[in-house]
Amino acid sequence: MSIVLSLILTGISGLLGPWWLMLVGAFFIGAWRAESVWGAWGLGLLGVGAWWLMVPLYTHLVSEGILTARLAALAALPMPVLVLVLTALIGGGMGGLAAVTGYQGRLLLRSSMV
């Protein structure tokens, strides 16, 4: 449920603002729903990473692979599908860090209030 919510927040914020705004949703999901650091990391990784895979995959399918092939050639990658995989990993890694930051922020606020 939290991963789906993270995916929805990432998608909405990605349509409304710059690319980094997507990480704000992962931050708040990590602060609200995560139960551990690894749980927060997984929420951000899967939520943001899934969105960062779906958008380039859609672009790949619409352009019939032309854009992905050109990006792969530009980056000297052997297969165009690696562009999609690397995009998802980079976005997921940033989402995981944002969610962990939110989780740690929640812990910090709770410890300072006690």
Total of domains in the chain: 1
What pLDDT was estimated at residue 1?
Answer: 77
Full pLDDT tens readout for the chain, 114 residues: 778 888 888 888 888 888 888 899 899 999 999 999 999 999 999 999 999 999 999 999 999 999 999 999 999 999 999 999 999 999 999 999 999 999 999 999 988 876
Give pLDDT, residue 114: 66
- Round to the nearest angstrom and report the end-to-end CA distance of the chain: 30
- As a whole number of Å, the CA-based R_g of the chain is 16
99 is in which domain, residue-wise? Answer: 2-113
